[in-house]
Structure 1
Amino acid sequence: MGLEFYDLTHPWGLGQPCWPYFADVEIVRLHNMSKSGVLTQKITTVMHSGTHIDAPGHVVPGTAFMDEVPLPNFFGTGVVVSIPKKKWEVITAEDLENARPRIRRGDIVIVNTGWHKYYGDNQHYYGYSPGFYKEAGEWFVEKKVKMVGSDTQALDHPLGTAIAPHGPGKPDGLLPHVCEEYLETTGRTVLEDFPEWEPCHKAILSNGILGFENVGGDI
């Protein structure tokens, strides 16, 4: 039996969903068939739109950009694990340790929380998703996996990103009402439960582990 290929990407193009502070994708036809007899298009996009890979240089100064990552890093044993999660739930080290098939050293790991079914231009997908946080990032580093991906909006829980009052999201977060709702629902502030900005990003990328965000398709 030959190789089987699986597409783990969401459709990409004009009008596609974007993270809350990213500019929209623009596709302009500079030449079209009826006028020029040739089609030429100009695409303007943020590199982190749709399903994509984060290189270490995304968050760690002085580390590799995508063109500097050795090609062997993109090849290996892939494993997709199902860890169903609901609104704002955290993917823990225990979840990862108990996942089947077992995650092993050198694996390319994709975590299916089920959240990809909400992918779209909506705040539910971006502001209320489950996700990794510091503990998961440290677990991936200890396990020495090769790459990590998730079917959620980022490599970190949304309340550990600028959606909450972190980094460029200070002082109120990009989606303040989400932070207010978290307080009303849990009785705790976002910063009590998610005090660090993108610790999973920093843990894995600083150790040369690349990350996939917004995984979908055939997952």
Structure 2
Amino acid sequence: MGKTVLVDLSHPFGDKCPLWPYFEDVKIERVHYMAKSGVLSQKITTVMHCTTHADSPAHVVEGTEFTHEIPLEKYYGTGVVVDIPKKRWELITAKDLENATPKIQKGDIVIIHTGWHRYWGDSQQYFLYSPGLGREAGEWLVEKGVKAVGVDQQALDHPLHTAIGPHGPGPLRPDICKEYKELTGRNVEDDFPEWEPCHNLLLSNGIVGWENVGGDIEMVVGKRVTIAGFPLRWYKGDGSIVRLVAFIDEDEINNVPPRVYKYGTF
């Protein structure tokens, strides 16, 4: 046994970081700086649902838990990082989860690696064309009794199950719905009839969800690890930016180089 290594599964947070379609830009203002006062202080205006973050049940299910009400134990434990490669607009199925390795067990934290984290950035490919979860996968995860779920995509639901499609305040991108119809011959609402079914299934059943998982996830794909992804202790919070980390023995880590993020492009 070697020493324990901490692997960062988080995308960076910062000025103008990539955002889901209906959020305003993150704004970071220097209020003190060295030439002015000899210290650096910054004021940040942000939504908490950006970069790698946890959704709280109150985000989507009225009358359920806010961030400060969720026990810290929900954000920590033994988990698996399963490899389920997917292409544009593909659904992650119950069969995918059942056949994944390492085997998903009751009480596990499940991190799903589709490979889509590689596209994270201010891009339509990442936010509009990603694969994702739907009702079938959500029901499987609830029945399995998992503890938490993280995805390397834009949301806990497939993008066409969100307001990007004709749901809730959507369609935010009617052109994407048109493109889907031209490609498949079907309306989005035929194949994705519900608004965020996986959000609702997981969160209403007390299963914590992390979105935009990334960072150095490829170092731990296919491994059973310890996971921690704690939110801020935000009273009445609907979610929180997190630092999601995997703990793994150095002898078990995959031999891949760490990801390099370039300022301004992420």
Q: Which bin holds the TM-score, normalised by the shorter protein? A: over 0.9
Which structure dedicates a bigger proportion of its chain to helix?
1
Q: Which runs of 5+ in 2 are unaligned?
A: 218-266
The 5 Å alignment of 1:56-205 reads: 56-169=57-170, 173-205=171-203
The 5 Å alignment of 1:36-47 reads: 36-47=37-48
2:71 corresponds to which letter in structure 1? P
In the alignment, the residues of structure 2 paired with residue 108 and residue 97 of structure 1 have an alpha-carbon distance, to the nearest angstrom, of 15
**Residue equivalent to 2:242:** none
1:204 corresponds to which letter in structure 2? L
**Residue equivalent to 1:210:** 208
> Post-superposition shift, 1:2?
3.6
Structure 1 runs (4+) greater than 3 angstroms displaced: none
1:127 corresponds to which letter in structure 2? L
**Residue equivalent to 2:14:** 13
2:187 corresponds to which letter in structure 1? T
- The alignment yields a C-alpha RMSD, in angstroms, of 0.8
In the alignment, the residues of structure 1 paired with residue 126 and residue 109 of structure 2 have an alpha-carbon distance, to the nearest angstrom, of 24
In the alignment, the residues of structure 1 paired with residue 59 and residue 138 of structure 2 have an alpha-carbon distance, to the nearest angstrom, of 16
**Residue equivalent to 1:23:** 24
In the alignment, the residues of structure 1 paired with residue 158 and residue 58 of structure 2 have an alpha-carbon distance, to the nearest angstrom, of 20
> Post-superposition shift, 1:4?
2.3
Ranked by relative contact order (alpha carbons within 8 Å, sequence separation 6 or more), the top structure is 2
Q: Which runs of 5+ in 1 are unaligned?
A: none
1:128 corresponds to which letter in structure 2? Y
> Post-superposition shift, 1:38?
1.6
> Post-superposition shift, 1:63?
1.1
TM-score by length of 2: 0.80
> Post-superposition shift, 1:175?
1.2
> Post-superposition shift, 1:3?
2.7
Greater shift, 105-114 or 35-44, is seen at: 35-44
1:14 corresponds to which letter in structure 2? D
> Post-superposition shift, 1:69?
0.7
> Post-superposition shift, 1:157?
0.2
Task: Establish whether residue 4 from structure 1 lines up as the match of residue 5 from structure 2.
Answer: yes
TM-score by length of 1: 0.97
In the alignment, the residues of structure 2 paired with residue 46 and residue 72 of structure 1 have an alpha-carbon distance, to the nearest angstrom, of 24
Task: Establish whether residue 49 from structure 1 lines up as the match of residue 38 from structure 2.
Answer: no
2:51 corresponds to which letter in structure 1? G
Deviations 1:59-84 (A, max 9, x none): 11111111211111122111100000
Deviations 1:115-139 (A, max 9, x none): 0111110111111000000111111
> Post-superposition shift, 1:145?
0.3
In the alignment, the residues of structure 2 paired with residue 3 and residue 73 of structure 1 have an alpha-carbon distance, to the nearest angstrom, of 22
In the alignment, the residues of structure 1 paired with residue 65 and residue 24 of structure 2 have an alpha-carbon distance, to the nearest angstrom, of 25
Q: Secondary structure at the match of 1:200?
A: helix
Deviations 1:5-36 (A, max 9, x none): 11101111002100000011000011111011
**Percent of residue pairs bearing the same amino acid type:** 66
2:196 corresponds to which letter in structure 1? E
> Post-superposition shift, 1:194?
0.4
1:182 corresponds to which letter in structure 2? Y
1:184 corresponds to which letter in structure 2? E
